């Protein structure tokens, strides 16, 4: 990605983050107001402390008489702590809400994208991104946004108070202030770039590590494991050296900010000292007292504190922008519109003049028209890339046609080469298709796909856990388990994409028998397959070549 | 707490660095305390002196020493802070390298039995997350409480030196605050922060399901139902985060409350001492401001300790992962095989959770130079059998002899040199083609690499690549096709000089023409070696002497 397009994307991420902020405006307002009130209380606290000290030391007032002042001080401190809590929890609430809402939006959108568009993403990576990138938004709303207001308002308030006490001291503070925005932007730019690069290198480093762990068995087989330990260590050390180079720059720019803050405080302290001794005849200096001097001194560090906090939270902003970029990329993918019309009782599927094109690949299917009668077993054949899967996806509504119309029944069943299994029990997996199915119905469905023998060997029966990788069962068994769902659903149309690929002879025989059983139930079957055994079962064969229809002759239609 | 021990020990290997880092942090905090306190002292002292001068008392006042001190503290603070950050980040990154290679080294010592699980992507993600959680052990949990303790002691003792009575107030208060913001805070957040990881994991699983199963979820109208599960788990996760966040806010507010109140209390105590003439006015202000400056030392404590449970959980899981199974058996024989005869006698193997055995009293003899194919349907245990033959698994009973020696007792190096094994999955690494091949033989020259590629019909393809052998194949070989990856894994084997070759589905995902080409070229290399091929389809394997079938745990000879 070039720099300019990167900046453009970040701009839209900024707009998107602002939109998100609107939904939690109330919480952000509470956090900001609490922070502001806390800042004003700091000013009040400094004033009271300076008064007490001045009264006790310069005026020689007895401490007992100052008791109300101390009590007031205690109240201010308690209130400050309470406001600090309020600011933090309100920010927390804003962050939590934005994250929840963003995740809901992403889920909604990913469902709308449909399985075909989504297949462009690596699902595990996508799940990780959804989780981690929405987490990365938190700090921006919880901390950075309120702090942005505070970083302007509190120093300004302090400056006004100091100016009233001694305008020269205010000038000293102000003198370092114009430099601050400059350094802030330097830090900000640095932090953003740094964050992006940090994300990348850390991901690459984790990749190298995972890669080696995943292939450990092979490394050991070749006696290469010992050497790989060094490789892992070296990769991590390379990463250290590279990131230290950038970190040093980032730390240096924030050190400069701190340096100006420290120098300003020191200058103010020394100026007040000299002024009190009467060494400075200029301006307001002769009027300084212990009270005003101490007051100003106590406020000087607080003048810089909100800015330092903002600098600290700057990485929250950078992280949120980087995450926003990636999430927006997903959200901007156009959803698959599905102009599906319900078909009539006799014709299960009717395609009229449909064509489909994929970005970068041009037209992959059609234009073609096709009628499939209800109850037919139709097999789609053709070389790989002929558009078999696209045809099925079109009927399912997972891709939308550029032209033409598509009619099919409202409900359909779907199975492709990779069976999808839930993290749950066998029963959970089956009930996906029919939430209220009885155990008997589940057993019946398992019988249809020849899994009863296997289930009887499982001590926990229908409660046997299946993990998300389907470990514990073979690929063929997984495919049949997914097929059992089709029997449970009442869908009149069944779409199957290469249901017998990658299966051994035994599982394949079961799958074929199941297809036959489905056809016998009067369902309409549309199966993409170049398997001769499947062809023999079919009523009708459709041949596709380069997206074009070449009707073949069916078995006995 | 105990689960952190091995990782603390790992940290302590860099004791010197850690101490220096903590020292720099302490200097930064003390410089901040000094800057504020001395400034207060100067202002009060000058005000008092000015009053005395006004009253006609010509006392001397040296403004340059405190002025210099203020400037020195200001500079020290900035410089120490810069170096502290650079130095400690460097330390953390070094620790990350230690931790990664340490965990990896522990994993390499694992019995291979534990390794199939390592391929699980979710488990791998968790592994990295756990390591990340421990990376910051030093900066979040170890250094801050130590710095707070040392800074508290230093300030309390200094103030005690000026006004002994203050020690009774400051020291207990600061120590209790330290206790509250570290141990108590850790306990308070323990349960929730421990659960966070598990909740995050199950949310991740549900998300994964939604993406992988979208087609079926849509087809069966189950999307909304699945979505409700997802939202429930998310609600649980967020509720835990909310509780943790609120508690953290509470502890942060507590730090403000205690430090500010303590500063006021010290001020009252010191002013009292001033009024009875025990303490100078300037020192009274100095004392109050010094306590105020200490706030910085405590500020970062709660945020680290509220997530203590998660750190412990990460350590626990990591340790468990590394200790999951017994370490590899130490070879007990020094006798080495003299011939390539393989003899399996009544092998029995059953997975702990399974009801039926994968291998049920399997007996087999393979004479040197013989080529055997074993077929069987998926799930019949071909890969498990291959693992056993290669010595990667131990049979529950029975004996496996190679050249008269028990395979599982052979020294690993001797076993690897004589038995080459192509696993069912091609393990490719984020490296170049050449580096991936050289895993098998680090000394192989480029001619040998080209020769091996030619044998698997990849040489033409590799020649056409702009970077040739140096082409980067991506993480787990994702940048090349599955079929190319399979052939690359096979080529790796050809760089070795084994007596026995075990191939598990060597031609998976390859088209017929390529299989035939490779079969012909492989024939020469297989001369003088024994070979066992596990596959669905025995076509393409050249010169087979025997074909057997594995079914229901038994091995049957195929009669032609």
Q: pLDDT by residue (tens digit) across B435-479? A: 889 888 888 899 999 999 999 999 998 998 888 898 888 766 777
Q: What is the pLDDT of residue A555?
A: 40
Q: What is the pLDDT of residue B484?
A: 85
Domain residue spans in chain A? Answer: 10-331, 340-551
pLDDT band for position B391 (cuts 50, 70, 90): confident
pLDDT over 70 (residue A501): no
Tell me the pairing of strands A377-381 and A403-408. Answer: unpaired
More reliable by pLDDT, A315 or B180: B180
Residue A321: phi and psi, rounded to 5, are: -65, -45
Distance, in Å, from the CA atom of A444 to the CA atom of A437, rounded to the nearest integer, reads: 11
Out of A45, A58, A265, the one facing B47 most closely (by C-beta) is: A58
Nearest CA in chain A to B82: A255
Spell B127-160 as b/e; 16+ CB within 10 A means b. bbbbbebbbbbbbbbbbbbebbbbbbebbbebbb
Residues of chain B with CATH 3.40.50.300: 342-557
Question: DSSP code of B346?
Answer: E
More reliable by pLDDT, A359 or A331: A331
Distance, in Å, from the CA atom of B171 to the CA atom of B176, rounded to the nearest integer, reads: 9
CATH for the A340-551 domain, from 3.20.20.80, 3.40.50.2300, 3.40.50.300, 3.40.50.720:
3.40.50.300
Q: pLDDT by residue (tens digit) across B244-275? A: 999 999 999 999 999 999 999 999 999 999 99
Residues in chain B with CB shorter than 8 Å from the CB of A263 are 74
Distance, in Å, from the CA atom of B189 to the CA atom of B311, rounded to the nearest integer, reads: 11
Domain A10-331 has CATH 3.30.1330.30: no
Q: pLDDT by residue (tens digit) across B127-137? A: 777 887 787 78
CB atoms within 10 A of CB A374: 17
Structure tokens at B332: 């007990």
Closest alpha carbon to B280 in B47, B495, B20: B47
pLDDT over 90 (residue A389): no
Q: pLDDT by residue (tens digit) across A122-181? A: 676 678 778 888 888 999 999 999 999 999 999 999 999 999 999 999 998 888 776 666
pLDDT over 60 (residue A8): no
Calculate mean pLDDT across residues B312-324.
Answer: 81
Closest alpha carbon to A290 in A275, A302, A268: A275
Residue B361: phi and psi, rounded to 5, are: 50, 65
For chain B, positions 129-168, list CB contacts with chain A under 8 A: none
Distance, in Å, from the CA atom of A165 to the CA atom of A296, rounded to the nearest integer, reads: 8
Out of B49, B257, B356, the one facing A81 most closely (by C-beta) is: B257
* C-beta separation of B264 from A77 below 8 A: yes
pLDDT band for position A470 (cuts 50, 70, 90): very low
A340-354, B101-115, B141-155, B266-280: the lowest-pLDDT one: B101-115
Question: DSSP code of B110?
Answer: B
Q: Strand pairing partners for B397?
A: B348
Q: pLDDT by residue (tens digit) across A421-464? A: 888 889 988 988 888 889 999 999 999 888 888 888 888 888 88
Spell B483-510 as b/e; 16+ CB within 10 A means b. bbbbbbbbbbbbbbebbbbbbbbbbbeb
Distance, in Å, from the CA atom of B383 to the CA atom of B41, rounded to the nearest integer, reads: 79
pLDDT band for position A195 (cuts 50, 70, 90): low
Closest alpha carbon to A133 in A331, A332, A320: A320
B359-373, B522-536, B546-560: the lowest-pLDDT one: B546-560
Q: What is the pLDDT of residue A38?
A: 97
Note whether A477 contacts B: Cβ–Cβ < 8 A.
yes
Calculate mean pLDDT across residues B91-97.
Answer: 86
* pLDDT mean across residues, chain A: 83
Cβ <8 Å between B70 and A278: no
How many contacts (CB atoms, under 8 Å) link A and B? 388
pLDDT over 70 (residue B333): no
Q: Where are the alpha helices (DSSP H) in A277-383?
A: 290-331
């999307």: which residue's tokens? Answer: B223
A39-48, A68-77, A331-340, B367-376: the lowest-pLDDT one: A331-340
């602002």: which residue's tokens? Answer: A18
Q: Strand pairing partners for A466?
A: A424
Q: What is the pLDDT of residue A554?
A: 42
A34-38, B241-245, B309-313: the lowest-pLDDT one: B309-313
pLDDT band for position B119 (cuts 50, 70, 90): low
CB atoms within 10 A of CB A181: 12
* C-beta separation of A462 from A442 below 8 A: yes
More reliable by pLDDT, A341 or B548: B548
Ramachandran class of A54: left when φ > 0, alpha when ψ lies in -120 to 50, beta otherwise: alpha
Out of B94, B238, B253, the one facing A82 most closely (by C-beta) is: B253
> Residue A486 CA to chain centroid, in angstroms?
33
B-interface mutation test, from A269, A287, A503, most B Cβ less than 10 A away: A269
A314-318, A450-454, A478-482, B36-40: the lowest-pLDDT one: A314-318
Calculate mean pLDDT across residues B519-545.
Answer: 87
Residue A71: phi and psi, rounded to 5, are: -60, -45
Laid out side by side, the sheet with B397-402 consists of B359-366, B342-349, B397-402, B405-406
Ramachandran class of A458: left when φ > 0, alpha when ψ lies in -120 to 50, beta otherwise: beta
Tell me the pairing of strands B546-551 and B554-557. Answer: antiparallel
Question: What is the distance in angstroms between the Cα of A374 and the nearest Cα belonging to chain B?
Answer: 18
| ipTM for this prediction | 0.84
Q: What is the pLDDT of residue A442?
A: 92
Distance, in Å, from the CA atom of B212 to the CA atom of A115, rounded to the nearest integer, reads: 8
More reliable by pLDDT, B508 or A302: A302
Distance, in Å, from the CA atom of B468 to the CA atom of B289, rounded to the nearest integer, reads: 69
Note whether B73 contacts A: Cβ–Cβ < 8 A.
yes
* C-beta separation of B122 from A258 below 8 A: no
A470-484, B33-47, B207-221, B240-254: the lowest-pLDDT one: A470-484
pLDDT over 70 (residue B201): yes
Q: What is the pLDDT of residue A275?
A: 92
Report domain B2-323's class: mainly alpha
Most confident by average pLDDT, A497-506, A537-546, B316-325: A537-546
Note whether B254 contacts A: Cβ–Cβ < 8 A.
yes
A-interface mutation test, from B68, B83, B85, B101, most A Cβ less than 10 A away: B101
Closest alpha carbon to A220 in B78, B450, B114, B485: B114
Nearest CA in chain A to B494: A222
pLDDT > 70: percent of chain A = 86
Calculate mean pLDDT across residues B296-303.
Answer: 92
pLDDT > 90: percent of chain A = 29
- Using CA atoms, how far residue A485 sits from A443, A479, A524, A527, in Å, is 11, 10, 16, 16
Closest alpha carbon to B181 in B304, B290, B293: B304
Residues in chain B with CB shorter than 8 Å from the CB of A247 are 85-86, 89
More reliable by pLDDT, A40 or B355: A40
Residues of chain B with CATH 1.20.1560.10: 2-323
Calculate mean pLDDT across residues A207-227.
Answer: 78
Calculate mean pLDDT across residues A91-95.
Answer: 96
Note whether B325 contacts A: Cβ–Cβ < 8 A.
no
Note whether A179 contacts B: Cβ–Cβ < 8 A.
no
pLDDT over 70 (residue B328): no
Q: What is the pLDDT of residue A211?
A: 76
Q: What is the pLDDT of residue A334?
A: 79
Domain B342-557 has CATH 3.40.50.300: yes
pLDDT over 50 (residue A4): no
B17, burial (CB in 10 Å: exposed 0-12, middle 13-18, buried 19+): middle
- Tell me the torsion sign for CA atoms A531, A533, A537, A541: positive
Note whether B40 contacts A: Cβ–Cβ < 8 A.
yes
Query: In sequence order, which residues have a C-beta less than 8 Å from that of residue B478 and are 6 or more positions away?
Result: none
For chain A, positions 30-49, list CB contacts with chain B under 8 A: 45, 49
Over the Cα atoms of chain A, what is R_g? 35
A-interface mutation test, from B43, B120, B227, B292, most A Cβ less than 10 A away: B43
Question: What is the distance in angstroms between the Cα of A508 and the nearest Cα belonging to chain B?
Answer: 10
Residues in chain A with CB shorter than 8 Å from the CB of B211 are 110, 118, 121, 123, 126-127
Q: What is the pLDDT of residue A200?
A: 65
pLDDT over 80 (residue A6): no
Q: What is the pLDDT of residue A502?
A: 61
Q: What is the pLDDT of residue A127?
A: 80
A212-216, A392-396, A474-478, B143-147: the lowest-pLDDT one: A474-478
pLDDT band for position B180 (cuts 50, 70, 90): very high
């Amino acid at each position: 990605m070039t720099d300019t397009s990167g900046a453009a994307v970040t701009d839209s991420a900024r707009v998107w983050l602002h939109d998100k902020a609107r939904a939690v405006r109330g919480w952000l307002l509470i956090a900001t107001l609490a922070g502001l009130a806390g800042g004003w209380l700091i000013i009040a606290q400094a004033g009271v402390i300076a008064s007490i000290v001045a009264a006790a030391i310069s005026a020689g007032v007895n401490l007992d008489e100052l008791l109300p002042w101390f009590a007031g001080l205690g109240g201010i401190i308690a209130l400050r702590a309470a406001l600090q809590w309020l600011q933090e929890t309100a920010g927390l609430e804003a962050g939590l809400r934005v994250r929840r809402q963003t995740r809901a939006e992403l889920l909604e959108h990913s469902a709308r994208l449909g399985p075909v568009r989504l297949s462009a993403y690596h699902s595990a990576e996508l799940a990780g991104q959804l989780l981690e990138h929405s987490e990365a938004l938190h700090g921006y709303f919880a901390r950075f946004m309120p702090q942005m207001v505070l970083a302007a308002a509190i120093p300004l308030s302090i400056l006004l108070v100091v100016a009233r006490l001694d305008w020269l001291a205010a000038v000293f503070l102000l003198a370092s202030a114009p430099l601050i925005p400059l350094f802030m932007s330097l830090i900000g730019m640095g932090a953003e770039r740094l964050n992006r690069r940090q994300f990348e290198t850390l991901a690459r480093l984790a990749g190298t590590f995972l890669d080696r762990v995943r292939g450990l068995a092979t490394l050991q087989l070749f006696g290469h494991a010992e050497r790989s330990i060094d490789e892992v260590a070296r990769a991590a050390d390379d990463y250290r050296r590279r990131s230290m180079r950038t970190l040093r720059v980032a730390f240096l720019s924030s050190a400069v900010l701190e340096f100006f803050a420290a120098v300003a405080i020191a200058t103010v302290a020394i100026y007040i000292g000299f002024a009190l001794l009467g060494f400075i005849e200029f301006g307001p200096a002769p009027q300084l007292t212990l009270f005003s001097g101490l007051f100003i001194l106590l406020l000087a560090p607080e003048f810089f504190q909100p800015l330092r906090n903002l600098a600290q939270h700057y990485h929250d902003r950078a992280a949120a922008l980087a995450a926003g970029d990636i999430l927006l990329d997903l959200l901007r993918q156009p959803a698959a519109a599905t102009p599906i019309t319900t078909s009539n009782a006799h014709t299960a599927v009717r395609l009229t003049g449909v064509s489909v094109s994929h970005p970068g690949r041009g037209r992959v299917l059609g234009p073609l028209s096709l009628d499939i009668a209800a109850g037919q077993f139709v097999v789609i054949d053709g070389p790989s890339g002929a558009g078999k899967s696209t045809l099925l996806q079109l009927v399912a509504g997972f891709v939308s046609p550029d032209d033409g119309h598509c009619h099919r029944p409202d409900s359909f069943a779907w199975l492709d080469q990779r069976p999808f299994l839930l993290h749950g029990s066998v029963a959970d997996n089956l009930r996906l298709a029919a939430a209220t199915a009885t155990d008997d119905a589940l057993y019946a469905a398992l019988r249809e796909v020849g899994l009863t023998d296997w289930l009887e060997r499982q001590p926990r029966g229908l409660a046997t856990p299946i993990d998300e990788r389907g470990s514990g069962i073979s690929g063929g068994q997984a495919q049949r388990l997914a097929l059992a769902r089709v029997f449970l659903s009442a869908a009149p149309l069944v779409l199957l994409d290469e249901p017998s690929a990658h299966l051994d002879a035994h599982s394949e025989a079961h799958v074929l028998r199941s297809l036959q059983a489905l056809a016998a139930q009067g369902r309409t079957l549309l199966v993409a397959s170049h398997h001769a055994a499947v062809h023999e079962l079919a009523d009708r064969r459709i041949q596709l070549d380069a997206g074009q229809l070449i009707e073949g002759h069916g078995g006995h239609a | 707490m105990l689960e952190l021990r091995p990782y603390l020990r790992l940290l302590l290997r860099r004791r010197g660095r850690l101490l220096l880092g903590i020292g720099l942090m302490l200097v930064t905090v003390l410089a901040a305390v000094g800057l504020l306190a001395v400034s207060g002292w100067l202002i009060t002292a000058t005000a008092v002196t000015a009053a005395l001068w006004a009253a006609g008392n010509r006392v001397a006042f040296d403004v340059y020493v405190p002025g210099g001190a203020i400037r020195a503290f200001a500079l020290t603070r900035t410089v120490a802070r810069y170096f502290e950050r650079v130095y400690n980040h460097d330390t953390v990154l070094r620790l990350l390298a230690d931790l990664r290679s340490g965990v990896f080294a522990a994993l390499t010592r694992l019995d291979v039995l534990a390794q199939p699980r390592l391929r699980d992507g979710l488990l791998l993600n968790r592994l990295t997350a756990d390591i990340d959680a421990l990376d910051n052990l030093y900066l979040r949990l170890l250094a801050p409480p130590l710095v707070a303790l040392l800074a508290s002691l230093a300030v309390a003792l200094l103030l005690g030196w000026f006004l002994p009575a203050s020690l009774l107030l400051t020291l207990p208060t600061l120590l209790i605050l330290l206790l509250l913001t570290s141990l108590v805070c850790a306990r308070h957040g323990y349960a929730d922060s421990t659960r966070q990881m598990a909740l995050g994991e199950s949310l991740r699983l549900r998300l994964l399901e939604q993406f992988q199963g979208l087609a079926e979820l849509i087809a069966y109208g189950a999307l909304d139902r699945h979505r409700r599960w997802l939202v429930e788990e998310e609600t649980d996760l967020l509720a835990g985060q909310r509780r943790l966040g609120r508690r953290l806010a509470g502890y942060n507010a507590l730090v403000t409350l205690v430090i500010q109140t303590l500063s006021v209390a010290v001020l009252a105590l010191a002013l009292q001492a001033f009024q009875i003439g025990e303490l100078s006015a300037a020192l009274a202000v100095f004392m109050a401001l010094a306590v105020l400056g200490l706030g910085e030392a405590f500020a970062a404590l709660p945020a680290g300790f509220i997530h203590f449970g998660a750190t412990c959980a990460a350590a626990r899981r990591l340790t468990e992962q590394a200790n999951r199974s017994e370490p590899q058996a130490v070879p007990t024989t020094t006798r080495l095989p003299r011939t390539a005869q393989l003899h399996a006698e009544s092998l029995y193997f059953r997975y702990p959770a399974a009801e039926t055995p994968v291998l049920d009293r399997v007996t087999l003899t393979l004479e040197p130079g013989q080529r055997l194919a074993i077929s069987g349907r998926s799930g019949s245990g071909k890969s498990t059998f291959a693992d056993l033959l290669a010595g990667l698994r131990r049979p529950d009973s029975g004996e496996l002899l190679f050249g008269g020696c028990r395979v599982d007792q052979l020294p690993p190096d001797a076993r690897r040199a004589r038995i080459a094994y192509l696993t069912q999955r091609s393990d490719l690494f984020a490296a170049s083609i050449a580096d991936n091949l050289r895993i098998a033989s680090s000394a192989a020259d480029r001619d040998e690499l080209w020769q091996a590629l030619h044998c698997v019909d990849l040489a033409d393809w590799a020649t056409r690549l702009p970077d040739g052998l140096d082409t980067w194949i991506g993480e787990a070989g994702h940048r090349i096709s599955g079929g190319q990856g399979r052939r690359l894994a096979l080529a790796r084997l050809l760089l070795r000089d084994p007596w026995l070759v075990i191939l598990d589905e060597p031609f998976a995902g390859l088209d017929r023409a390529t299989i035939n080409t490779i079969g012909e070229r492989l024939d020469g290399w297989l001369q003088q070696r024994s070979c066992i091929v596990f596959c669905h389809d025995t076509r393409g394997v050249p010169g087979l002497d025997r074909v057997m079938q594995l079914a229901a745990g038994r091995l049957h000879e195929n009669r032609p």
